[in-house]
Structure 1
Amino acid sequence: MKAIYPGSFDPFTLGHLNILERAARLFDHIDVVVASNRSKNYMFSAEERYEIIRLSTDHLQQSLSVVQYPGIIADYIQENHIDAIIRGIRGSTDLDYEIKLEQYNRKACLAETVYLTPTTKHLNTSSTLVKMFLQSKKLDLAAEYLTDNAHAYIGSLLRAK
Structure 2
Amino acid sequence: MSVVTLEHIKTEQARVAALIEQYEKRSITTEYVVERAVIPLPAGARLAGPIFKEDGSLDYYLILHADEQSGSHDSVKAYTAGRGCKTPNKREGRLLQAAFPEFCAEGSMWLEEEYEEDSACAWCQGYGYGHQYGLHKSVELRGVAVSRFIPSVI
Q: Which has the higher contact order (CA 8 A, sep 6+)?
A: 1
More strand by share: 2
Fold agreement, TM-score > 0.5: no
More helix by share: 1
**TM-score normalised by the shorter chain: which range applies?**
under 0.3
TM-score norm. by structure 2 comes to 0.20
